[in-house]
Structure formats: C-alpha cells, structure tokens
Amino acid sequence: MVSLQVEHKHLCGGALLNSQWVLSAAHCASENASHVFEAVLGTNSLSDPARTVVTIEKQFIHPQYNKTTNEHDILLLKLSESVTLSDKVKPIQLQSEDKVIPAGTKCLVSGWGKIKRTGKKPDLLNEVLVPVISREVCNGRGYYQDEITKNMMCAGTGRQDSCEGDSGGPLVCDKALEAVVSSGFRVCGNARRPGIYTRVNPYIKFIEETMLNATLPSPLPTEAVI
C-alpha cells in the first residue's frame, strides 16, 4: 500500500506494481509542478520514522480521462528511484482476467482516508471488506442511474465504504488488484451511493505500454546529411 503525499500531507492511496511504478486514480495527479509529490511505502503508520519516502518523477494520466464522468480514472506514477522490495514493500498482482466479480463477493479496500465517525484522516492504515454490488443494481434508480460503465464497478454498504483520502487505493479481490478507488457519494457509507471503483483489467495495455515506453532509452540524435 502506498500513500501519495503533496507537501508531506496524505492525498491519495496507490498500489505498488513493481520496484518503480505505482498505480492510482487520475484525479489524484498533482496539479502543481512546484509542490513536492512523494510516495510513502513500507509502513501502516504515516508517522513511522522507518517509512520509505520516494519522490515521484513522472505521472501518466490516461489520455481519455474524463473529469466529469470519472471514466478512465487511472494514473501511473514513476518513482524517481527503484525501491527495495521486502516483506513490507511488496508489489501486487494485477487482475489478468476480464471477468465480472459476482455480486456479494467480499473484497478488501484499504487506505488512510477519513473515518466517518470522526471526519479525520488517520495515521494508521485502515482496511475493510466491502461487498461487490452488481453493475445492474448500481446503475438502477436510487443509485447512480446509468453512470457506471463497463470500466467501473461498485462496492460497499451503509457501514463499510471507502471515503475521502482513499482515492487511488486498491480494491483487492482474491489476492489480485481488481480496481482502484475512484469516487462515490459526498457522504461516505451511504448504502444507496456505494463506492465507485475503476476496474484495472481494461487498462492492462495502457499500463504495460506506458511502463515500457518510459523505460526505453531515447534514440541518439542523427546528424544532418549535407
């Protein structure tokens, strides 16, 4: 689990894909190049002096990201240096199958987002199992009414839900990264406004090509022939 921080304050969550890449949500991208944008890893406590802190070198927002509809809300971040992988700093496996997770399946969402009962962002990482809600139900009247596309999924109840500050964090189903936290209702824990997540599998090609192209050496300049 990764904490994305701007000016040393938690902004969003993220998932480590390998020693130098983090996956998050597009709306978590830093909008001010002059601000310090960092990834904090290897700890459940944001105040842990032993935490690993790495500057984010580049951010890659999905080219079709739509701020209004939250479609394609996916972001890749390249760290300025590779981190040492360990028991505390582990990459997560992406969901390789384009499948529909059955309604009622319990998946794990984690983050340093606000706690509903206090309205404050915690120092310690929180985790909760949330039930998947079918796209048909989530698109129904009283829910999101056809706003949930095939690239999205819903999960949560009136008691368990993601909240502000959890954006970009992982939704893990059967040990694989199924989705990242995208958005939800302005009041967390509303049973008829569950959390909305961006599914990962539809973006495997974007993820793989972005990581590959960002690591390829730049071609040498050619001399003009006179």
- Of 10, 27, 62, 72, which is the active-site residue? 27
CB atoms within 10 A of CB 100: 13
47 counts as catalytic: no
- Of 73, 110, 161, 162, which is the active-site residue? 73
Contact 54, 79 (CB under 8 A): yes
DSSP per residue over 17-76, as a string? Answer: EETTEEEE-GGGS-S-TTS-EEEEES-SBTT-TT-EEEEEEEEEE-TT--TTT-TT--EE
8 counts as catalytic: no
How far the first Cα of the chain sits from its last, in Å, is 55
Distance from the Cα of residue 132 to its chain's centroid: 17
73 counts as catalytic: yes
- Of 30, 162, 167, 183, which is the active-site residue? 167
DSSP per residue over 134-150, as a string? Answer: -HHHHTSTTTTTT---T
Q: Does residue 8 come out as left (phi exceeding 0), alpha (psi in the -120 to 50 range) or beta?
A: left
Query: Quick one: which H or E segment has residue 22?
Result: strand 21-24
Catalytic machinery residues: 27, 73, 167
